[in-house]
Amino acid sequence: MAAAYAASFHVENVFLLERNEKLGKKIYITGKGRGNLTNAADISDFFDKIVSNPKFLYSSLYGFTNEQLLMLLSKYGLKTKTERGNRVFPVSDHASDITAAWTRALRDRKVEIRTDCGVKELIVRKERERLCVNGVRLDNGDTLLADHVIVATGGLSYPATGSTGDGLNFAKALGISTTPTHPALVPFAVKETDIFELSGLALKNVTFTVFSDDKRQSGQNKEHAPLASAKGQRLYEEFGEMLFTHFGISGPIVLSASSRIAKVLSESKYLPAQIDFKPRLSTEQLDKRLISVIDTQAKQSCRRLFDGLLPKSMGPLMLSRLSIASDRKIGTLTKEERTAVGKLLKQFPLSITGTRGFKEAIITQGGVSVKQIDPTTMRAKNVDGISFCGEVLDVDALTGGYNMQIAFSTGIAAGNGLMEEGSLGNKGDK
Ligand SMILES: Cc1cc2nc3c(=O)[nH]c(=O)nc-3n(C[C@H](O)[C@H](O)[C@H](O)COP(=O)(O)OP(=O)(O)OC[C@H]3O[C@@H](n4cnc5c(N)ncnc54)[C@H](O)[C@@H]3O)c2cc1C
C-alpha cells in the first residue's frame, strides 16, 4: 500500500523490496487462509478493538477507512463478503486473492517489485546534525540509494513468513526508540497437565477470567509454580468460546486475553485464571440444579454426574479433580462434595505459565515507539528520509480484520506522506 501510494504521487522509481520469493506471504495464512482483511463496522468502532495506541491511529484510519479499502480493492478485482462479527473476507474464501489485487495495484502504478531481495541495513548520512536515510544495503551486498525509505517489515510473529523484526533493528540503529515486544493474540500454556487430554475440545458460552499474580509467587521458579489458587485483581474477563489444546488453552476469548495481558504475563511467574462453565447460572441456581440431579439420579454412578452440564469427555477429569470415584452412586455425595462440584463448575482453576511465543502469535505487541512517528505521514520525527508503517509500529488490535486494516491505512498514510516530496527521483542502482 505504501509503495502503491508513493508511486501514485509522481514519485518515480518506487521499488518494493521483499525478501521472500513472493509478496504478502503472511496474508496467505490470515483468517485461516480466508483472509479477514478488514471489519465492516463503522470506523469509529475500531478504536475499542485497538489494544495499543488507538489515538495514534485516528488520522490514518479516518484518512483511509474500511469502506475506502473495499472500494479500492474492488477496483483491482477483489469481491468481498461480510460474515459474523462484521468480518470481511474475499468472496472466493482465498486470502491469495487479496495479494493478487494488491499486485495488480502495484503493477498499475508502475512500482518495481523485487522479490528475493532482503534489506540488510539502512544507509545513513548526517546533514546539519540530523540523521538522514539515504538508501538501503541489500543482503547480497548491493546498495540502492533513495531519497526516502518506508519500512513495512512487520513485527516478530510467525517469523517463517519473513517478519523477523528487522525494522525494529533499523529503527534502533537510527536512535528511534522501540517499546518492548510481546507475542499477542497467542494461545496460553498452562501448568495443569490434566487438561491436555481434552485437546481439541471447544467450549461455547463460558466465561474466562484472568487474575493478577499474588506476592506469594515472587521468587518462585515457573517450573514449581503452584496450581492456580491465589487470586489477585481481575485483569481480564470475557464470555464466549475457548478451546483446550495439547499444551493449554486457545480460542477467541483466550487470544483476546493474551493481547490484554501480554505485558503483565511477561512480568509474572504465572497468572491464576478460571473458567466458569455455567456463567448463566448463579451459584445458588447451580446448587439447586445439582440438588435436583442428586435427587433424581441418586442410583446412577458418578460418571453420569456431569451429563447435561458439560461435554461428556470432561466428566473423568472433573471427578479426578474432585477426588470422587466414578463408580460411587450420585446419591452418596455429601453437601460438601456438592458444594465442591458447584465451585469447580463455576471456578475451574488454571495457572497460565506463559504464551506459545512469537512462532504462534498472530500479532506483535510493541514496536517502533509511536512517539517518534508523525501519525499523519508516518515519517520519523527526528530522522529524515524514513517512515514506518504496519505491524513494525507499536500498534495492535484484537482479531476481526482490524490488524490488516491498520497495516493498510498506515501504509497509505506513509505513501501519501511522500506527497510533498512528489518530485523525488531515485538515485539509481549502485
Ligand atoms: C496466522 C495469522 C493470521 C492472521 N489473521 C489475520 C486476519 O485474519 N485479519 C487481520 O486483520 N490480521 C491478521 N493477522 C495479522 C496481519 O496479518 C498482520 O498484522 C499484517 O500482515 C501486518 O502487515 P505488515 O505489512 O505490517 O507486515 P507483514 O505482513 O508481516 O509483512 C512484512 C513483509 O516484510 C518483509 N520483510 C521483513 N524484513 C525484511 C527485510 N529485511 N528485507 C526485505 N523484506 C523484509 C517480510 O518478508 C514480509 O513479507 C494474522 C497474522 C497471523 C500470523
Report which ligand 1 atom has the smallest distance to the Cα of 405.
Answer: 11
Residue nearest to atom 8 of ligand 1 (CA): 31
pLDDT in tens, 187-241: 999 999 999 999 999 999 999 999 998 654 444 444 444 444 456 899 999 999 9
- The dihedral built from the CA positions of residue 303, 276, 261 and 228, taken in this order, carries a sign that is negative
Residue type, 78: L
The alpha carbon of 27 and the centre of ligand 1 are apart by a number of angstroms equal to 7
- Is residue 247 a contact partner of residue 187, using CB atoms and an 8 Å limit? yes
Q: In which residue ranges of the chain is pLDDT below 70?
A: 10, 214-231, 420-430
Among 49, 352, 343, CA closest to 212: 352
Backbone angles phi, psi at 404, to 5 degrees: -70, -40
Give the right CATH number for 2-181+365-421 from 3.10.105.10, 1.10.1060.10, 3.50.50.60, 3.30.70.3040.
3.50.50.60
Query: Does residue 417 sit in helix, strand or coil?
Result: coil
The alpha carbon of 163 and the centre of ligand 1 are apart by a number of angstroms equal to 6
Pocket of ligand 1 (CB under 6 A): 17-20, 25-26, 29-31, 36, 118-119, 152-154, 157-158, 161-163, 166, 362-363, 390-391, 401-404, 407
Could you tell me how many residues make up the chain?
A: 430
Cell of 355: 504464551
The alpha carbon of 91 and the centre of ligand 1 are apart by a number of angstroms equal to 21
Q: Strands of 87-90's sheet, edge to edge?
A: 38-39, 87-90, 80-83
In angstroms, the CA 116 to CA 122 distance is 17
pLDDT in tens, 78-99: 999 999 999 999 999 999 999 9
What is the predicted pLDDT for the residue at 221? 44
For a mutational test of ligand 1's pocket, the pick from 29, 30, 364, i.e. the residue with the most ligand atoms closer than 8 A to its C-beta, is: 30
- Is residue 396 a contact partner of residue 52, using CB atoms and an 8 Å limit? yes
Q: For residue 410, what are the CA distances in angstroms to 75, 224, 383, 413?
A: 20, 44, 18, 5
pLDDT in tens, 298-327: 999 999 999 999 999 999 999 999 999 999
Among 273, 278, 282, 255, CA closest to 208: 273
In angstroms, the CA 211 to CA 67 distance is 38
What is the enclosing helix (H) or strand (E) of 340? helix 335-346
The alpha carbon of 375 and the centre of ligand 1 are apart by a number of angstroms equal to 20
Domain ranges of the chain: 2-181+365-421, 187-356
Residue nearest to atom 26 of ligand 1 (CA): 390
What is the predicted pLDDT for the residue at 8? 83
Cell of 269: 511467574
- The dihedral built from the CA positions of residue 341, 345, 347 and 349, taken in this order, carries a sign that is positive
